Structure formats: structure tokens, C-alpha cells
Structure 1
Amino acid sequence: MHEVQAKSILSARNGINVYRGCTHGCIYCDSRSTCYQMDHAFEDVAVKVNAAELLEDALRRKRHPCMVGTGSMCDPYLPLEAETRLTRRCLEAIYRQGCGVSVLTKSDLILRDLELLKAINGQARTVVCTTLTTLDEDLCRVLEPNVCTTRRRFEMLRTMRESGIHTGVWLCPILPFINDTEENLRGLLGYCFDAGVEVIVNFGMGVTLRDGDRQYFYRQLDRHFPGMRERYIRTFGDAYQCPSPREKKLAAILREECGKRGVICQPEAAMAYLAAFETPQEACQMSLFT
């Protein structure tokens, strides 16, 4: 890791990334793509040491409180967060400014901040999401080697829900020929429903690959799945979108099962849900009319 002084932290859509780079080692990570113009090794994480101060100043300047999102590019709960506590300091700033927060993480380290998240949820809205890819714990350790497994992430979500915090799942990627089975999908959905998630984010049953990401992914396929790289090249060439041959069937299962339980899964509706700012009073008022 190395420290940097950031010039700004809050995006136009109220997103933040307090770290740049990652040590989770997920073999499919889009954030490795060269289009993001990272000027250092991906695993040499840049720590934006002034992130909390920049965030508090930016939120203070807003005319109205908002929903702050984090985790879409780099996980806010990397192992180094245990020492830097940078994400926690940002959450404290969010709380002081009366804003809400939507967090995406693959780490159970977020449980350290449960009481703070509950406090934010008491004045605005808190949504905690995790990524789920495979029901198979051994496969999970291959696809996402340096992070807690699927079962532990499920347990984290359940704890959040039992604490009154809204929860969701990013169901991606569904890797063609690797985890794109009906059994895997139904198993992951079982975890989602048992954890009481309100939203599932899925942009398609497949994976996206572009320069930087593709090369790393293929090296890992050679390491863990001999012959799979050649199958991808034959099937997809240099395409950005690599859909599963089972895409239509899997997508239909997702829609059907979520529809039965009232779980949001349409991409636009899911993203709108995560970005929507709401106070407990507003939520109570809305419930009177639904």
C-alpha cells in the first residue's frame, strides 16, 4: 500500500472510493481494466488518506442530504481497513452530515462497524450489499481467493438484516462454463432469500472482459481451469460481453423467483433503489400509502 492525497472524493453521482486497487485477488475483476488508467500495480493499494475530510466538506456543501455509495470500483473493506479505519472515518462523516449510505463489500470486516451503520440507518437509510458468485466454497476460494467465502458473506447479510439494515446482493459474474448452472443460481438465490435481501443486482448472466482484465483472467484460467482459455477464445473471441449459453434460462429463473418474493431484480430499478435517499419518517409515510 501507499498513501496519496486525493484532490476530490465525491463523484457527481455521490459515489466514493477511499482506496484504489485491491488485494482480494478475484480472477474476473473489471477494475483491473486498462481503461481506468491506474498508474501503479493493482495490488499496491493507494490509500486516500484525506478521504474523510474531503467527504465531510463535500457533504456539508450540499443543499440536501444524499445517499453516498461506495464499493463499486474498490472494496471499502480491504484487509488494510482494519488498520487505516479510513472507511469508518468516512461513515462517521456521513453520519454527522445526516446522509445515508450504500456499501458493497465482500468482506465481513464490515461487521466491525455494525453499530455505526445502525446509527446512520436511524437517521437516513443504510443498505449493505455483497457479491455472490458461487455456492461451491472450494470454487469460491479459486475465484475470490483472498476474501471470506460465500457462506460467511451470507451470514454477514443475515446479521445486517436482523439489525434492521437493508440488504442486497450483486449476483455477478456468472462465468460461462464455470458457475453458470441452474443448481448454482438456485443455491445463491436461496442464500439471498434466507438473508432477507430486498434487491438483487444482475446485469446479465455472463461476464465482461476488456483489456487488462482479460489478460489477467486468462492467466488464472490457465492456472486453475486448463483448456478453459481456449474455450473462451473460440466462443467469444475479443468480445466485451461474454454471455452464458444458458443466459435466457438463468435470467428467467431469476425473474420468476424474485417475482414470487417481491425482491427487486430489474437492473434500472435495482440501481434506483440503492441510490434513493430516505429518512425513517419518509419511509413510514410511504408505508401508509402502500
Structure 2
Amino acid sequence: MVHEVEARTLLSKQKQPENWFGVDYNLNVYRGCVHGCIYCDSRSECYGIEVFEDITVKKNAVELLNKELRGKRHKGMIGTGSMSDPYMPIERSLRLTRGVLETILAHGFAVHTVTKSDLVVRDADVLEAISRKTHATVAVSLSTSDEKQAAWIEPHAPSPSARMQAMGTLARQGIYTGVLMMPVLPFLTDNRANIVNIVEKAHANGAQFIIPWLGMSLRDRQRDYYYEHLAKSTPGLVKQYQRTYGNRYNCMSPRAAALWDVLRELCDKYGMTCEMKDVKRYVPPEAPEQLQLF
């Protein structure tokens, strides 16, 4: 089900841009998501979305963003994709994400986009223009390189191979792109073969960074939903999670240290960044010094 709303505000200021690709402001054109990822943290109660598969569309997003950016003196980085994918299927017809990118370009801001969708290549022309003018980053979200595994943990998202190909298209057009390898699901995707496959395929498709989370979050409704789907596909794994993590929120893979060593060695080999402190960021030009008459 799709609901349209008139949003009052669109941009939210980020307190610590250095922790997430230098993003100064964040926005979401949509609420909810149809990709059906069984692990999605945005199902948690704290986000206030009762039926996550119902999509709320901020129909005035482009006009509102234009108004808000006119009042911003700091030409920073705008992030999108933190709560719902900006390239869900509905974006094909609504084109709100494209309108947002065109507005960002017109006002001289930079952009950081997170997506699981190959639809992002439709907007490669706008992203390339932003990249030339300021800076554009596209982070492609991947938890597994295995097509069959992805089909049940991310049932309605484009396949990992389609996402990799999209990343390659963007990279060839000079857009700074790479992989958000997160979450890495304990006892499911936290194995050496998966990490190696993601890194090697990402490198082959022009990735310049791979930023991992070698674990996952688990809380309230998100945990219930995840366990329900695990029980259908991998009997016995729910009890292993319960024994290992109890009611913990931050659930790191027991293999995290070893996997981090593998990731770092491969990224060094291929010249890719794997730490947030090293990713390329947008640095706005300094304002010209005001000259004095006397």
C-alpha cells in the first residue's frame, strides 16, 4: 500500500559527519521499504513504522528540498538511503529521487546515496554532473554474494550480480562508488568465502571502498521478524542466536576478528579503502575573505 503525505521538513542535520562518509544532512523521500530484507533494523519500534511494507511517499520532497537548500549557507554533503531505499520500484514512475538529485546539483551540494537497487544507474547522468561540480558517492549495500542466499534474506531486492554491474557502470562514469558490506549475518554470511567473493567482484566492478559491519543489530520487532524467517529456512539457528546473543542489540560475528584480517589484506592488495576514516569526502571551498576598505 502507498500513502502520500505533505512533509513539513526534509533535511535533518547530522551531529558527526565524520562517522558516515562526511554526510552533513540526511533526507528520506520514502518511509518503509518493499525489498523485504529479513534483517532490516528499520523494522524496530523506535522508528515508528507500524507496517514496514506500506510505503509513505513525501510527495512534496523536491519542492521542499529546494526551499530548504536556499536557506543553507554551508554547502555540505546530503545523504539519502538510511531508512528506506531511494530506488525502490515505485521510484521508476515517481522519479522523486531523481528530482532530489537534480535539486542538489542545482544548489551546489554534494550527495551520498545508499541503495540495494540497480535502478540507480538511471540517474548516472545527474550523479556524474554532481561529481564534477562537487562530489557524489554511491554505496551499494551487499550482505552476500550468493544469489540463492540473497533470494531468501533479501527476497525482493535486485540480485547481488545486478548490484555489482550497476556499481561497475557508475564507476566507469567516474562516480566514487563502493560497497557497504553490512550487515554480515552471524552463522550465515560470516565466512571467508563470502568476504573474498564480495571483495573480488567489487574490485572487478571498480569499487574504491568496502565498508563493513561484521555483525548485525537485533532488537524488538526486528528480532522477532528475523527469527521468524530464520526458523522457516534454517531450523535450529534461532536457538544458536539466542544462546550467543540473548537480548543484545549489537551482535558481532564470532569470526569478526579473523574476517577483518581477510578483508584488510584483500583491500590492501586491490587498493581499496575499508575504513571510514579513509573514504573520500567532500570539502566545500572556503568562503572568500571579505576585503576591507580601510
TM-score, scaled relative to structure 2: 0.89
Query: Quick one: which amino acid aligns to residue 241 of structure 2?
Result: Y
Report deviation, 1:268. 4.1
Query: CA separation in 1, counterparts of 2:113 and 2:177?
Result: 9
- What is residue 233 of structure 2 aligned with on the other side? 224
- 1:205-231, CA deviations, whole angstroms, 9 ceiling, x for partnerless residues? 111111111011011101211121111
Match of 2:156 among 142, 146, 149: 146
Query: CA separation in 1, counterparts of 2:207 and 2:181?
Result: 12
Query: Quick one: which amino acid aligns to residue 3 of structure 1?
Result: E
- 1:109-139, CA deviations, whole angstroms, 9 ceiling, x for partnerless residues? 1111121212222211111111111121000
Query: CA separation in 2, counterparts of 1:33 and 1:199?
Result: 28
For the pair 1:256 / 2:265, whether they are aligned, the reply is yes
- What is residue 11 of structure 1 aligned with on the other side? 12
Q: Partner of 2:122: helix, strand, or coil?
A: helix
Could you tell me which runs of 5 or more consecutive residues in structure 1 were left unpaired when the two chains were aligned. Answer: 280-290
- What is residue 157 of structure 1 aligned with on the other side? 167
Query: Quick one: which amino acid aligns to residue 144 of structure 2?
Result: T
Report deviation, 1:265. 1.4
Report deviation, 1:277. 4.0
- What is residue 284 of structure 1 aligned with on the other side? none
For the pair 1:244 / 2:245, whether they are aligned, the reply is no
- What is residue 22 of structure 1 aligned with on the other side? 33
For the pair 1:215 / 2:233, whether they are aligned, the reply is no
Report deviation, 1:278. 5.5
Match of 2:282 among 260, 276, 284: 276
For residues 68-107 of structure 1, what are the structure 2 equivalents within 5 Å?
A: 68-107=78-117
Query: CA separation in 2, counterparts of 1:90 and 1:199?
Result: 25
Report deviation, 1:11. 0.9
Which ranges of 4 or more aligned residues in structure 1 deviate by more than 6 Å? none
Query: CA separation in 1, counterparts of 2:200 and 2:265?
Result: 13
- The percentage of aligned residue pairs carrying the same residue is 43
Query: CA separation in 1, counterparts of 2:75 and 2:185?
Result: 38
Query: Quick one: which amino acid aligns to residue 28 of structure 2?
Result: N
Q: Partner of 1:212: helix, strand, or coil?
A: helix
- What is residue 288 of structure 1 aligned with on the other side? none
Match of 2:46 among 35, 42, 51: 35
TM-score, scaled relative to structure 1: 0.90
Contact 1:202 1:267 in 2 (8 A): no
Contact 1:26 1:145 in 2 (8 A): yes
Bigger Cα displacement from structure 2, 251-260 vs 18-27: 251-260
Query: CA separation in 2, counterparts of 1:77 and 1:193?
Result: 23
Structure (1 or 2) with the greater helix fraction: 1
Contact 1:221 1:229 in 2 (8 A): yes
Query: CA separation in 2, counterparts of 1:110 and 1:277?
Result: 24
Equivalenced residue count is 274
Bigger Cα displacement from structure 2, 261-270 vs 21-30: 261-270
For residues 102-113 of structure 1, what are the structure 2 equivalents within 5 Å?
A: 102-113=112-123
Contact 1:130 1:153 in 2 (8 A): yes
- 1:40-95, CA deviations, whole angstroms, 9 ceiling, x for partnerless residues? 41111110111111111111111132211111111100111111111111111111
Q: Partner of 1:46: helix, strand, or coil?
A: strand
Q: Partner of 1:55: helix, strand, or coil?
A: helix
Q: Partner of 1:242: helix, strand, or coil?
A: strand
Contact 1:22 1:74 in 2 (8 A): yes
Query: CA separation in 1, counterparts of 2:229 and 2:39?
Result: 9
Could you tell me which runs of 5 or more consecutive residues in structure 2 were left unpaired when the two chains were aligned. Answer: 15-24, 286-294
- What is residue 244 of structure 2 aligned with on the other side? 235
Query: CA separation in 2, counterparts of 1:56 and 1:200?
Result: 32
